[in-house]
């Protein structure tokens, strides 16, 4: 059985781990950098190729497509859809690489998300900024690893950031602060279950709990109710494999975001689980079915 992993030029820890584990499970494993692929329409047929290798000749594809390649990645997956198995829907690339669209889709599926506002210029945010409860969270639509998340304790401090967003022509994304003691939950969904989960505890004087900004991951036995939420979130986004961030807030567990290319280095060390192995074993089973 043949697996192809589609990823960025520079392989990160996760891609390297996935290749290593996949080699133990699949008969052959290839890694293709997305910018090295071509998409062809010839004789009325569509192909995705790497040099002369036709990607539809693989049994399974594991997309690890970064945001910057999401449009090309979408085309690639659209062409391969129905020919090769892969664990996300092509459209998931757009939804999950945009934090606001993610929340919108979750809400449409009756899942709990923070109150959220999106606008394109400061002048139309005045009402919201007058009425919202502080602190608020301001985010770049496309941040990751905690970068691009700001907490504003007053309208005045929110405006300073909003002015900056406007200057850089970035959408203004304002989110209700979900009260928490400096921690959140990362649930890693594979298929219809959470295969590993941890609490992430923010470092002192920091509200972001991401491990990339100093948060500490500790193994967490996730209650079934929260695990179900994580699985529902993954399902709503059309992803069979994804990382879901959840905060247990005053109104109950609230989904903050889903991660299409979730990292798992911190999760593996916190839980001592071989996440990479579970991913590739899942893919193999899924193809067999």
Q: Which of residues 100-119 bind ligand ADP (CB under 6 A)?
A: 114
Binding piece for ligand ADP, criterion CB under 6 A, among 23-31, 57-65, 86-94, 202-210? 202-210
Rounded distance between C-alpha atoms, residue 97 and residue 242, angstroms:
12
Q: How buried is residue 25: exposed, middle or buried, by Cβ count under 10 Å (0-12/13-18/19+)?
A: middle
Of 77 and 233, which has the nearer Cβ to Mg ion? Answer: 233
Count of alpha carbons within 13 Å of 44, Cβ hemisphere only? 0
User: How far, in whole angstroms, is CA 199 from its chain's centroid?
Assistant: 17
- Orientation angle between helical segments 224-236 and 99-108, nearest 10 degrees: 110
Query: Of the ranges 16-24, 68-76, 140-148, 236-244, which one interacts with ligand ADP (CB under 6 A)?
Result: 140-148
DSSP 77-110: HHHHBTTBB-SB-TTHHHHHTSHHHHHHHHHHTT
Closer to ligand ADP by CB, 61 or 103: give it: 103
Q: Considering only residues 222-251, where is the footprint of Mg ion by CB under 5 A?
A: 245
Q: Which residues contact 113 (CB under 8 A, 6 or more apart)?
A: 103, 106, 107, 254, 255, 256
Interacting span for ligand ADP (CB under 6 A) from 157-165, 188-196, 204-212, 222-230 = 204-212
The 233-262 site mask, x for binding ligand ADP (CB under 6 A), equals ------------x-x--------xx-----
Asked if residue 155 lies in contact with residue 130, where contact means CB atoms within 8 angstroms, the answer is: yes
145 counts as binding ligand ADP under rule CB under 6 A? yes
User: What is the phi/psi pair of residue 232, to 5°?
Assistant: -65, -40
The structure tokens 């990160």 sit at 12
Smallest distance, Å, CB 41 to ligand ADP? 35
Residue 69 Cβ vs ligand ADP, minimum distance, rounded to whole Å: 18
- Which of Mg ion, ligand ADP, none has residue 175 at its interface (CB below 5 to 8 Å by kind)? ligand ADP
Interface ranges with ligand ADP (CB under 6 A): 114, 137, 139, 143-146, 148-149, 175-178, 180, 184, 208-210, 245, 247, 256-257
Interacting residue ranges for Mg ion, rule: CB under 5 A? 245, 257
């Amino acid at each position: 059985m043949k697996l192809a992993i589609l990823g960025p030029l520079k392989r990160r820890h996760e891609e390297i781990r996935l290749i290593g584990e996949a080699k133990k499970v699949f008969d052959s494993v290839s890694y293709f950098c997305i910018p090295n692929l071509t998409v062809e329409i010839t004789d009325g047929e569509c192909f995705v190729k790497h040099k002369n290798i036709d990607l539809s000749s693989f049994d399974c594809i594991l997309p690890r497509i970064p945001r910057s390649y999401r449009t090309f990645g979408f085309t690639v997956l659209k062409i391969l859809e129905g020919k090769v198995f892969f664990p996300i829907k092509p459209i998931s690339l757009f939804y999950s690489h945009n934090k606001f669209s993610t929340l919108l889709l979750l809400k449409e599926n009756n899942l709990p998300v923070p109150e959220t506002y999106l606008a394109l210029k400061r002048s139309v945010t005045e009402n919201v900024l007058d009425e919202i409860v502080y602190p608020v969270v301001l985010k770049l639509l496309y941040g990751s690893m905690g970068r691009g998340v700001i907490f504003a304790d007053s309208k005045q401090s929110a405006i300073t950031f909003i002015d900056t967003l406007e200057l850089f022509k970035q959408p203004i994304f304002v989110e209700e602060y979900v009260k928490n003691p400096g921690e959140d939950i990362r649930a890693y969904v594979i298929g219809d279950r959470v295969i590993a989960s941890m609490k992430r505890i923010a470092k002192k004087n920091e509200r972001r709990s991401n491990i990339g900004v100093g948060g500490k991951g500790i193994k967490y036995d996730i209650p079934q109710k929260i695990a179900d939420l994580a699985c529902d979130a993954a399902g709503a986004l059309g992803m069979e494999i994804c990382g879901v961030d959840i905060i247990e807030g005053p109104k109950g567990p609230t989904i903050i975001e889903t991660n299409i290319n979730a990292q798992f280095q911190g999760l593996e060390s916190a839980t001592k689980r071989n996440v990479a192995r579970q991913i590739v074993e899942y893919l193999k089973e899924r193809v067999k079915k």
